[in-house]
Amino acid sequence: GDSVTQMEGPVTLSEEAFLTINCTYTATGYPSLFWYVQYPGEGLQLLLKATKADDKGSNKGFEATYRKETTSFHLEKGSVQVSDSAVYFCALSDQDAGANSKLTFGKGITLSVRP
Amino acid sequence: KAGVTQTPRYLIKTRGQQVTLSCSPISGHRSVSWYQQTPGQGLQFLFEYFSETQRNKGNFPGRFSGRQFSNSRSEMNVSTLELGDSALYLCASSLVAGITGELFFGEGSRLTVL
């Protein structure tokens, strides 16, 4: 079945540091890939997405590129801010399965950014 | 535009009881899905409803059920509660057509089973 593997956390960085959060996936079809973010006390929000190989999703300074050859979708940001402190989830939606709303999530990783 | 609304936000039950959680999707969204979030298992898909019909179901026992009403509001029910059912239950809505996987989540209902 489909699965998403994220790097172990938590991650603590100083403000303005470079961020990489690794994500790899296994899927039977041609998945769309997503990063969701959960700020303290809030619901999950879509951060960015990519629907086919080599697509780059970007939002709020975050970027991730859909790499089919390495089955990866790593999240990067050049300079993190304290306000980026949150839990980040990598997820996939297998379009071939015809289940538009079924997402398979990674375990999530907590990012803390120090001033 | 109002977001996804879940009620109640917090509740405490005892083993053997049953619970009903409610979800009101974003206006115009016709698909509602439910996820269980626990520290050990992470986010797991429960089921999805569209136009009052269950379209997809995750690997949960039959004690977990749901339904959707004609106004797209949804409820999920857990019967014969077990300690392991303690979790944050998240509801998400989507437009479905042409948007794959772009879900809008509520803040969740946190269930504690004692």
Q: What's the number of CA atoms in the CB half-sphere (13 Å) around residue B80?
A: 4
**Which residue in B100, B102, B109 has the most chain A C-beta atoms within 10 A of its own C-beta, making it the best mutation to test that interface?**
B100
What is the length of chain B?
A: 114
Does residue B57 belong to the interface with chain A, where contact is any CB pair within 8 Å?
Answer: no
Give A-chain residues touching B33 at CB under 8 angstroms. 101-102
User: For position A102, what pLDDT does the model report?
Assistant: 81
User: For position B97, what pLDDT does the model report?
Assistant: 45
| Average pLDDT taken over every residue of chain B | 91
Min Cα–Cα distance to chain A from B66, Å: 16
Q: Please report, in angstroms and rounded to a whole number, the separation of the first and last CA atoms in chain B.
A: 37
User: For position A1, what pLDDT does the model report?
Assistant: 80
> Is residue B104 helix, strand or coil?
strand
Does residue B3 belong to the interface with chain A, where contact is any CB pair within 8 Å?
Answer: yes
- pLDDT per position as a tens digit, B70-98: 999 999 999 999 999 999 999 999 886 44
Q: Using 50, 70 and 90 to split pLDDT, how confident is the model at B100?
A: low
Please give the distance of CA A46 from its chain centroid, rounded to a whole number. Answer: 9
Min Cα–Cα distance to chain B from A10, Å: 13
A74 has a pLDDT exceeding 90? yes
Read off the pLDDT of each residue in A49-67 and give the average, rounded to a whole number: 95
- pLDDT per position as a tens digit, B50-67: 889 998 889 999 999 999
Read off the pLDDT of each residue in B21-28 and give the average, rounded to a whole number: 95
User: For position A87, what pLDDT does the model report?
Assistant: 95
